[in-house]
Structure 1
Amino acid sequence: MKITDIDVIELKADSGRALDLDPTYHCCLVRVMTDSGLSGIAEVDSVPSVIRAIVEAPAKTSTLMGLKALLVGEDPGDIRRLWDRMYQHTSYYGRRGVVLHAISAIDMALWDLKGKAEGQPIAELLGQRRHDALPAYVTVYPLGRDPDELRRALDRTRAYPARAIKLAIDGFWREERALAQRLLLTAREHLGDDMPIMLDATATFHDAADIQWLLPVLKDCRIDWLEAPFSLDNLAAFEALKNAGIPVAVGDTGLTASAEWEPYFAAGAIDIAQPDIGWVGGFTGMNDIATLCDHHGTRLVPHGWNTDITLSANLHFLAARATPEYAEFSTSDSPLRWALVKEPRSLEPDGTLRVPEGPGLGIDLDDDTLTRYRVA
């Protein structure tokens, strides 16, 4: 079996908003095709036109190559070798950032293709399927600016029987401290004592001093983890929170290759790693991050606010891990979130998500949805 082509597919649905932060309204898919008729599919939360340019770019030098030129004619089953080949031959303009996004998508598609060719789910190909279902959490955004708005948002989210709820805050929390504290206390009161709550700070705070006022109320509300409190460029701020008594989650706002993660592990600044499989190098890159996590005794909870393609990938990856961890379940109202695959994932009554059982990712794309939302 040989790779014959790589296709980048842009999908866009109208959100009614000028610039939507929800990536499921504007998707980038990558399909790897072979001479056997089998193909593998993937999704990446990135800029479709840039991903297409990286895939289709002609070779300039041996370290400035487009990915299609590297892979057409290759055996798709030798995934680690192909990953290293892509990384090496893009090294003068890659190694981090958007080139890793493109490599991630191709790697994910290669694993999907390998599973289809061998008739095995990716969870089995990763070593051993240890779990048939994983606990799920959902994210609440926007929270609103007053307690009543927040309660309505929480009630909409509680329609999904998830095991935990994450609150994604807005920038005004940094300046309007009394309101922020009131909203957090309202959330805990409204959800009750038994519901685990996480807080996604979305890099709102400048440094550790900027967030000290919030830490006591985080402890009072028994927040399970504080996610992305600072810009990833400010490692010192993360180091300063090491002894704050609140688990800190890192990585979901842009870390890519494993070498980019290593300073955070070396500094002891990560309690929970949150790699996005579409950014860190696909399944192959996720395995590298998992090795770092296991060495440092760090939890790994993947980022995943995307369609059922990313959700399925995360479920396969988590199913092969020794300890069950949360899968993020997007509640976006985008039609691409719910209609891109023929049998979308749904939450079980016990708040878990079943791991797909079919070969590869275990999903089939809905051709009508692809046709309707594809950007020419």
Structure 2
Amino acid sequence: MHDRITSVDVFLFERPRDTAYLGKPGSGETMIGDKYVVRGFNGTVYPLIDRSIVVRLRDAQGVEGWGETYGLIAPDAVASLINDLLGPYLMSLPAQNPAETWDALYALQRNRGYWGGFLADAIAALDIALWDLHARADNKSLQAALGQPGSAQLPGYVSGLPAGTRAERLAMAQGWKDEGFHAVKIPISHTDNGDVAGEVAALRETLGPDHKIAVDMHWAYSAEAAINLGHALAPMNPWFLEAPVAPEDVDAQAAVAEGIPMPLALGEEWRTDWDYKPRMRSNACSIVQPEMGHTGITQFMRISRMAANAGAQIIPHATIGLGIFMAASLRAALAAGASCHEFQHTIYHRNAKLLGGAAACSAGRFEIPDTPGIGVVPLEEAFDFLTVIKD
């Protein structure tokens, strides 16, 4: 068990990219200053750089734990919640199981209707750091602290084929297959003029009948349009469709799940098991995708246990910042019995070089060791991209 928390440090991680996530801004897309682009296909704002909020906790014995959450947009909002409220309250609490601490932090604002968004992300960062510290204090890996000790392999699926032409995307997909990756997911933006069916058909012809091919629909469809696309894709036997409709619309999600002939995957924007419960009752998805950067470890595990009890498959989502919450996600995925994990190949290895202990990913698998905590700490060179955010 870790000791009482005595310090909470908050950092902004920012690292420039040669090409923005999901590709260069297009002619029909809106720039917000020099930091953000609003994507035309779904109206969502994305940063032009790699960005996250990182936290470091120390307890009274000097043991450290590291955590991370989304800082993609307006990161100071998350940092302020930690510095002004959550961090000081955390330091007033006794040492206890991290899940109990998550409940205490969540209770601070739930009766005012604050139970998601930036607040939940801030709690997620602290929760990851607490679990890291908790496991390290007992010289255990996170997966051992969660009841599943030992090193293991976890299959990874290739996420995205960011190339300008179909021929280039097919060559990229074939290259990953040649390296031992047998599953790929494409966003609807990685197509020629929105021809999703044509893209999937070409991938199926190139990769063969057994390769897993999923489609990320990026919340861009109505229920009717999503169902129609599902039937158009059926001859290509997709692995799953992801995030087809507005994320708040449980009725539409359930209608799509019932109306398409392949599995539906949801969950990357959920923060807590309260987000999953109505979708579980409505049979709105058969694949659950907890995102560690939003859930933290406590809620990742609660959602995963509910999913397993409901007979759903667990395939965690993976947005990448520095890579701390990705490390936590891989280890929690082992404990949760996940079947595989998203591999953001344009980001993962690039930023993993800034961390000591990051899991290797090659030949279609993550190699996850049984080292203490979440297994990673920022290396000296990481601090070239980390800026302390004070009160």
Return the TM-score normalized by structure 2.
0.84
- The equivalences for 1:175-186 within 5 A come to 179-186=195-202
Q: Residue 160 of structure 1: CA displacement?
A: 4.9
**Identity %, equivalent residues:** 23
Which residue of structure 1 aligns with residue 386 of structure 2?
Answer: 374
- The equivalences for 1:1-376 within 5 A come to 1-16=3-18, 18=34, 19=36, 21=46, 25-46=50-71, 47-57=74-84, 66-91=85-110, 92=112, 94-129=114-149, 132-142=152-162, 144=164, 146-155=165-174, 157-158=176-177, 160-170=179-189, 179-205=195-221, 207-241=222-256, 242-252=258-268, 254-280=269-295, 282-306=296-320, 307-321=322-336, 323-333=337-347, 337-349=351-363, 351-370=364-383, 372-375=384-387
Deviations 1:137-193 (A, max 9, x none): 11114354x4223224424644753231111122988xx56x332222111112222
**What one-letter code is carried by the residue in structure 2 that aligns with 1:48?**
P
> Which stretches in structure 2 are left out of the alignment for 5+ residues?
21-33, 38-45
**What one-letter code is carried by the residue in structure 2 that aligns with 1:126?**
L
**Residues 31 and 259 of structure 1, relative CA distance in 2, 3 Å threshold:** same
Partner Cα distance (2:326, 2:49) in 1: 12
**What one-letter code is carried by the residue in structure 1 that aligns with 2:185?**
K
Is the CA contact (8 Å cut-off) linking 1:143 and 1:169 kept in structure 2? no
**Residues 171 and 211 of structure 1, relative CA distance in 2, 3 Å threshold:** farther
Q: Helix, strand or coil for the counterpart of 1:268?
A: coil
**Residues 308 and 261 of structure 1, relative CA distance in 2, 3 Å threshold:** same
**What one-letter code is carried by the residue in structure 1 that aligns with 2:326?**
L
Q: Helix, strand or coil for the counterpart of 2:206?
A: helix
Is the CA contact (8 Å cut-off) linking 1:8 and 1:51 kept in structure 2? no
Partner Cα distance (1:243, 1:356) in 2: 41
Partner Cα distance (1:106, 1:340) in 2: 21
Partner Cα distance (1:23, 1:83) in 2: 31
**What one-letter code is carried by the residue in structure 1 that aligns with 2:386?**
R
Q: Residue 273 of structure 1: CA displacement?
A: 0.9
**Residues 268 and 226 of structure 1, relative CA distance in 2, 3 Å threshold:** same
Deviations 1:316-363 (A, max 9, x none): 112223x451111221258862322024322243x2212232110112
Q: Helix, strand or coil for the counterpart of 2:9?
A: strand
**Residues 335 and 123 of structure 1, relative CA distance in 2, 3 Å threshold:** closer
Q: Residue 106 of structure 1: CA displacement?
A: 0.6
Is the CA contact (8 Å cut-off) linking 1:29 and 1:43 kept in structure 2? yes
Is the CA contact (8 Å cut-off) linking 2:151 and 2:369 kept in structure 1? no
**What one-letter code is carried by the residue in structure 2 that aligns with 1:52?**
A
**What one-letter code is carried by the residue in structure 2 that aligns with 1:112?**
D
> Which stretches in structure 1 are left out of the alignment for 5+ residues?
58-65
Partner Cα distance (2:172, 2:114) in 1: 40
Is the CA contact (8 Å cut-off) linking 1:67 and 1:86 kept in structure 2? yes
Q: Helix, strand or coil for the counterpart of 2:135?
A: helix
Q: Helix, strand or coil for the counterpart of 1:359?
A: coil
**What one-letter code is carried by the residue in structure 1 that aligns with 2:271?**
T
**Residues 172 and 160 of structure 1, relative CA distance in 2, 3 Å threshold:** closer
Partner Cα distance (2:327, 2:179) in 1: 18
Larger strand proportion, structure 1 or 2? Answer: 2
Mean Cα displacement is larger for which, 91-100 or 11-20? Answer: 11-20
**Residues 130 and 271 of structure 1, relative CA distance in 2, 3 Å threshold:** farther
Mean Cα displacement is larger for which, 287-296 or 153-162? Answer: 153-162
- C-alpha root-mean-square deviation of aligned residues, in Å? 2.4
**What one-letter code is carried by the residue in structure 1 that aligns with 2:81?**
I
Deviations 1:104-125 (A, max 9, x none): 1111100100111000001011
Q: Helix, strand or coil for the counterpart of 1:331?
A: coil
Q: Helix, strand or coil for the counterpart of 1:255?
A: coil
Q: Helix, strand or coil for the counterpart of 1:347?
A: strand
Partner Cα distance (2:143, 2:275) in 1: 26
**What one-letter code is carried by the residue in structure 1 that aligns with 2:136?**
K
Partner Cα distance (2:174, 2:246) in 1: 31
Partner Cα distance (2:347, 2:293) in 1: 21
Is the CA contact (8 Å cut-off) linking 1:115 and 1:360 kept in structure 2? yes
